[in-house]
Structure 1
């Protein structure tokens, strides 16, 4: 076999080995995102398990829930606390009392979209304020709450600038509003949506 043939065989073997290495996930760089996601899921499961044991709370909301009366049956009529995942939207005072507003979690694509406005958990306010504002889904909160009221807004107003004018559009919202008492909460860190998108693009 001549020198050129030997070089060609070596290149083919190296290329095949490199492809197997990266596709099998044995390289450290490709394994890290999977390991981090796994750790976040384990942390989340541990928090939920602890909350269920402590508060005897319900977990999960049916993905087939589309009407207020259905959501009311799941969150209010049972008389039991509920555990849900959410992102922190706002903290504010009203009549001298703290309120925490939670928005739907970035990861709950198929769950009913619910905004929770909750009293209580005042001992967690400093912790919430200190936590860096989460704009790209870097993590989510696991919340235990006793819900007392559920409703669906009749009108949603969307607005945007069009030159010097402001356009307004009225539509029927696809979200629910829930009110109640916050009993406990925990925070779970995870990969941000931005990092996930960058990772997907890098592997294309």
Structure 2
């Protein structure tokens, strides 16, 4: 897929005010500081599209970006935010789950996982919830450039082992690096092929 245009459309804390033009939505979510904004900018080939911050929890709203005037990238607040107040965490959680449960055009949720770490409880629990609730999702292992190939392979196998304790098969997954563009072609091809199957 070639990205010819990527534009910011809106930010919302009210799900009822999100776009209503019946275009497919691909949402991105993950723990704080997993590299979500960097990945979105890499995928869209637009350095300043999603705002990047070294401070975890920077994304506090649901952000819609229109890609090729055909489909949306949705940047969701992270979960597991270590440095925000408890009531803010609760507000984020409500916003996240409200979006996931209510958006009819949510085609796929990309769950970002930092490949440098072994399976984390919050990630596994969140994916478990998605499965129980029938939410289609894929995993993106981020920051692949930060690990040696063998360690990367070991960590992904650890995730497979953990998930296969309760899943019949591993969800689709991608290995990415916002620094060197790894995974960009595979993720965009996945979106392109998925779009072809839709009848929105």
The TM-score range, normalised by the shorter chain, is: under 0.3
The two structures have a TM-score, normalised by structure 2, of 0.24
* Bigger strand share: 1
Q: Which protein has greater RCO, CA pairs closer than 8 Å, 6+ apart?
A: 2
Larger radius of gyration: 1
